[in-house]
Amino acid sequence: MYEAIDRADPQNPAKHFYLGMTMQMVGQAEAAEKSYRVFREECCKYFMGIERAVEHHETRLRELEAQGQTVEADREAYNMSQMVDILRGPSLQEKRRRSCVLM
């Protein structure tokens, strides 16, 4: 999955999310957190702000839900839900201070 995303869109931050999930599944919590942190930072750049990144992922999740996909039964909906949770983190303001310096 990681390589396919990287080839299709090298700037896409989702590859860091999928790497984080993989690291988490094999018990590498620190590596997973690092990948999730990079995912947040890259989303901030890619979407030009953390609020826009959250909005994008929430919109996609609502689209999937409108199509009848559930977080429990659909992998894409589940992943989108996880991405939203990671992007929201402790608070949007805290995340903006830590990982989003826009010029």
Cβ–Cβ under 8 Å, residues 14 and 1: no
The C-alpha atoms of residue 9 and residue 3 are separated, in whole angstroms, by 10
Q: What is the pLDDT of residue 98?
A: 56
The C-alpha atoms of residue 12 and residue 39 are separated, in whole angstroms, by 9
The C-alpha atoms of residue 34 and residue 93 are separated, in whole angstroms, by 20
The C-alpha atoms of residue 51 and residue 65 are separated, in whole angstroms, by 21
Q: What is the pLDDT of residue 93?
A: 45
Along the 103 residues of the chain, how does pLDDT read in single tens digits? 556 666 777 678 999 999 999 999 999 999 999 999 999 999 999 999 999 999 999 999 999 999 999 999 999 999 999 999 999 986 444 544 555 544 4
Q: Which of 39, 47, 46 has the alpha carbon at shortest distance from 22? A: 39
**Sign of the CA dihedral with 42 first, then 48, 49, and 55 last:** negative
The C-alpha atoms of residue 34 and residue 18 are separated, in whole angstroms, by 12
